[in-house]
Structure 1
């Protein structure tokens, strides 16, 4: 029997030079994407402003004053002692312009997105995540049709170009369109960024990819860049410049050997394994081609060469349940994660320090995930961190209602940081879990759908995670949804120590991606794409055996399978009279 591709990866060194290159050149792209994704946390910052009414304020005189003098005028006012600070009108007259305090150049100060246009901050953020949602849909389908490599690097190149164009936006409408376009590319990249490198790693190293803290490192770099540049346009240009080295990986990193095998491109798949062996200084096993042919054969049997679509991740009860639970869970994780991330401007204290703290808490989150995920499993890791998020969310409710004013803000901020850490850790574990839960042929579709679902949470996050206007509702919502996610997580099959499947029938048949041989009990036969059936007559037995033979070389139904007794443990299966689904192995 041919070894599995997981065993071949182990023989080629497991985590060796080639896998290290995958991390440095492919997975590091995630850090740049994090920088791009978090732009609005700075670009949407609204500093104090002075309302300028032309007939009441001499703008030329304002320009000759220093900021402290301007603030004094704004606070004291010049007409009936009305303040000019953070208002939309003075003495019944709307502001003609605004003076924003501080040296920060944000989209708020660039296009006066205050007062009647204040809602545009949340809308632009949601527009960006609408693009990410669209990109998640496109990326999942493209990754399985065009391949992992072309999809990832094509979208990453467009992302880089669009950041340059966006830096020269002439109005907020153009900026919003560019954020949507950039969001599409971000969505495509995020769909590919975990499944693609994971498909080059053996079983015991699979969890290591999502546990590498590229995202928080990217956000930390963004916080440092915002502190140095204090300019939304320059931040986008810096993001584009930082992306250039990653694009060079296209000329060296190969396509996924697994994906090539499932597409019937056997020689190319073998060449990828040969390259991996050469880089790692190992000898390619002579049985490698046999393994590749086995993967291709299983794929041909399972779908007879058809392309896959999102319908395939809803085929079968177990798969549909998995997909729906993962979707809900990722909506919640995304809503809390991005809601807290973009609410950083609402925290008391220095903006840059808060951005730094919100980013740095993710590093221990990834470390904890790395340490726990292979010790206690994916399920218990996620359950533990969801429990922490639930507890601190409801703790914030109590603090908001009962804590003394002098410590309330600090305590709530600490709880928010703890919730961010726990959500980040749960999400990191979930990325490994979801990747392992689908077979190769639908892996990017399953992961893509999870990403798509998470973008729904990100889209609504700016409107429901609002610490300025409705903190009590925010914390109750966070606690309730994370509690619901805890309950549903119990129904996702554990994938710890299980080999990833290559084709669909193992996933739909077993409910989890464990690579195993067909199992038969007395009077039972395992049939691909179906459960075990029981016949009630010789003629129906013959029909069923013909049906089995048309799919694969499965064990024929035994003569003991049929009798005239009532159906056992099941109901009549539509489409096959007198043949019963008994749901047993």
Structure 2
């Protein structure tokens, strides 16, 4: 059974068709949000450059040899009868240069440091940001939530480099996580709601977030100082705050909130920026107003509204069976790629930038076969690639660990394409009034999968090296089946209305409502 026709959405899609599905205004919004995502992703991977330090000792011992010659031997962590010189140095597990400057609490003589504390505090901040950001974006606006959270993100990152205390560092990273969580979901919704259906997948999939870790690695290689890197990465977002005056509030959200005068003003500004006239714009706005007034109550929506219709209940179940296992596999493979190269900087560049190629191919394929079947194809192919570890085991007596690492690399490409398209489908499935909260649920499930990754390594690593990959393949098969629970959204208007069963008025009756057209 097909869902009821959303006249509000159809009217706005008609406006976009005439004014430009990706005109000057949409390009302006995309450029601003893309730049902010680069800064956000760079800040999020900042703490991955904090290693575990260990004190080591090197000694040189002189051994007499015939001919009055002397042979010097350098031994590490050894015992000597008559050592001549010894030196102690601090080594790290990431292979960073010895001239790196780290905060004082990270060194081995400080027993209070634990990388897990920073890891879980930032994850807690992200969870809080996802939950609160979804509610704020759907009830207070996409634009204000996006820029307020971005300011919090950059300010907290700058403050990270200003304090010497571990407690202050953890608090700042919690705020970084909160700001990043709010910003990611609200900015994605802000972009998708101003685009035509032909450009939604292109713009969201090709947001250049992967360049952030590469730029941070370049800065880390050049600066080699934790404080300088934190302050500069935070200040990099300061000029982008000025784009607040170039980006307008979502017209779809304003209409659904019964703020019709503001919605009409924003839409006219968008049309003027695109320099393309829209015939019968007044009639199209009248249709949108009548649809909102006759089908929805004016209220604050919450997460319980996901259960209001059968279609939304089915999509919510699909969220659970796709986001959770998909992010578990993605994060597990990403952890295995930490030693893809001997240089942590080159590893970041290779792992994150290679994703852009496969994401581009996913955009092209989904144009031909649709979103659902494209995600199904990539998820199943990832499962098959993971199962190829059995072929390696059967055909090789001795398995090179580098071969297993590269197998994880290619499997990670498929997962990246799958999860990117999943984010697009999640935003396209749920209506405007709860779209941000739906995105927050998906991202929160992904964060839970990220945390569960630790348990996967604890319980799977003691087994044979093929067992983790077989588990990854099984989980991606579950993801592929879960994808079929979503509706096909590729060539459909973006839904706006969440119909209330007690609000079914005839279109002409809304004319008699007080201030119906001037609210």
Superposition deviation, residue 187 in structure 1? 0.6
Superposition deviation, residue 238 in structure 1? 2.3
Query: 8 Å contact 1:194–1:209 — kept in the other structure?
Result: no
Greater shift after overlay, 104-113 or 128-137?
Answer: 104-113
Please show how residues 315-354 of structure 1 align to structure 2 within 5 Å: 315-347=308-340, 349-354=342-347
Name 2:55's counterpart in structure 1.
50
Name 1:307's counterpart in structure 2.
300
Question: Quick check: 1:269 aligned with 2:276?
Answer: no
Question: Quick check: 1:432 aligned with 2:424?
Answer: yes
Question: Quick check: 1:227 aligned with 2:232?
Answer: no
Query: 8 Å contact 2:301–2:434 — kept in the other structure?
Result: yes
- Provide the rounded CA distance (Å) in 1 between the counterparts of 2:380 and 2:103: 37
Name 2:375's counterpart in structure 1.
382
> Which residue among 236, 241, 244 is the counterpart of 1:247?
241
Question: Quick check: 1:18 aligned with 2:25?
Answer: yes
Q: In 2 relative to 1, CA 11–171 (structure 1 residues): closer, same or farther, beyond 3 Å?
A: same
Query: 8 Å contact 2:431–2:494 — kept in the other structure?
Result: yes
Cα deviations by residue, 1:276-297 (Å, 9 ceiling, x for unpaired) = 1121112244x33443343343
Q: In 2 relative to 1, CA 414–371 (structure 1 residues): closer, same or farther, beyond 3 Å?
A: same
Cα deviations by residue, 1:341-398 (Å, 9 ceiling, x for unpaired) = 3444344533222222111221112211221222111111111211222123233466
Name 2:107's counterpart in structure 1.
112
Query: 8 Å contact 1:366–1:428 — kept in the other structure?
Result: yes
Question: Quick check: 1:460 aligned with 2:452?
Answer: yes
Query: 8 Å contact 2:42–2:216 — kept in the other structure?
Result: yes
> Which residue among 39, 46, 52 is the counterpart of 1:32?
39
Question: Quick check: 1:551 aligned with 2:504?
Answer: yes
Gaps of 5+ in 2: 1-6, 60-72, 508-519
Cα deviations by residue, 1:53-103 (Å, 9 ceiling, x for unpaired) = xxx99xxxxxxxxxxxxx94534345899xx99xxxxxxxxxxx9722633
Please show how residues 102-501 of structure 1 align to structure 2 within 5 Å: 102-103=97-98, 105=100, 111-112=106-107, 120-285=114-279, 287-347=280-340, 349-396=342-389, 399=392, 403=396, 405=398, 408-465=400-457, 474-501=468-495
Superposition deviation, residue 198 in structure 1? 0.9
Superposition deviation, residue 400 in structure 1? 6.8
Superposition deviation, residue 503 in structure 1? 0.6
Superposition deviation, residue 269 in structure 1? 0.9
Cα deviations by residue, 1:506-542 (Å, 9 ceiling, x for unpaired) = xxxxxxxxxxxxxxxxxxxxxx74xxxxxxxxxxxxx
Q: In 2 relative to 1, CA 272–114 (structure 1 residues): closer, same or farther, beyond 3 Å?
A: farther
Secondary structure of 1:99's aligned partner: strand
Superposition deviation, residue 210 in structure 1? 1.4
Q: In 2 relative to 1, CA 468–32 (structure 1 residues): closer, same or farther, beyond 3 Å?
A: farther
- Provide the rounded CA distance (Å) in 1 between the counterparts of 2:402 and 2:186: 39
Query: 8 Å contact 2:337–2:408 — kept in the other structure?
Result: no
Name 1:74's counterpart in structure 2.
76
Taking CA–CA contacts closer than 8 Å with sequence separation of 6 or more, which of the two structures ends up with the larger relative contact order?
2
Cα deviations by residue, 1:472-523 (Å, 9 ceiling, x for unpaired) = 5543432222121112212221112111121113xxxxxxxxxxxxxxxxxx
Secondary structure of 1:504's aligned partner: coil
Q: In 2 relative to 1, CA 177–438 (structure 1 residues): closer, same or farther, beyond 3 Å?
A: same
Q: TM-score scaled to structure 2, two decimals?
A: 0.83
- Provide the rounded CA distance (Å) in 1 between the counterparts of 2:102 and 2:392: 34
- Provide the rounded CA distance (Å) in 2 between the counterparts of 1:504 and 1:498: 16
- Provide the rounded CA distance (Å) in 2 between the counterparts of 1:476 and 1:123: 31
Secondary structure of 1:495's aligned partner: coil
Q: In 2 relative to 1, CA 458–115 (structure 1 residues): closer, same or farther, beyond 3 Å?
A: farther
Q: TM-score scaled to structure 1, two decimals?
A: 0.74
Q: In 2 relative to 1, CA 496–476 (structure 1 residues): closer, same or farther, beyond 3 Å?
A: same
Secondary structure of 1:306's aligned partner: coil
- Provide the rounded CA distance (Å) in 2 between the counterparts of 1:415 and 1:363: 18
Query: 8 Å contact 1:159–1:186 — kept in the other structure?
Result: yes
Cα deviations by residue, 1:281-335 (Å, 9 ceiling, x for unpaired) = 12244x3344334334333333321111111112233312211221331122323
- Provide the rounded CA distance (Å) in 2 between the counterparts of 1:115 and 1:390: 44
- Provide the rounded CA distance (Å) in 2 between the counterparts of 1:107 and 1:333: 34
Name 1:4's counterpart in structure 2.
11
> Number of aligned pairs?
479
- Provide the rounded CA distance (Å) in 1 between the counterparts of 2:477 and 2:44: 27
- Provide the rounded CA distance (Å) in 2 between the counterparts of 1:479 and 1:402: 20
Q: In 2 relative to 1, CA 245–477 (structure 1 residues): closer, same or farther, beyond 3 Å?
A: farther
Query: 8 Å contact 1:330–1:453 — kept in the other structure?
Result: yes
Superposition deviation, residue 399 in structure 1? 4.4
Q: In 2 relative to 1, CA 403–233 (structure 1 residues): closer, same or farther, beyond 3 Å?
A: farther
Q: In 2 relative to 1, CA 423–230 (structure 1 residues): closer, same or farther, beyond 3 Å?
A: farther
Q: In 2 relative to 1, CA 32–335 (structure 1 residues): closer, same or farther, beyond 3 Å?
A: farther
Query: 8 Å contact 1:332–1:485 — kept in the other structure?
Result: yes
Gaps of 5+ in 1: 58-70, 86-96, 506-527, 530-546, 555-585
- Provide the rounded CA distance (Å) in 2 between the counterparts of 1:123 and 1:404: 41
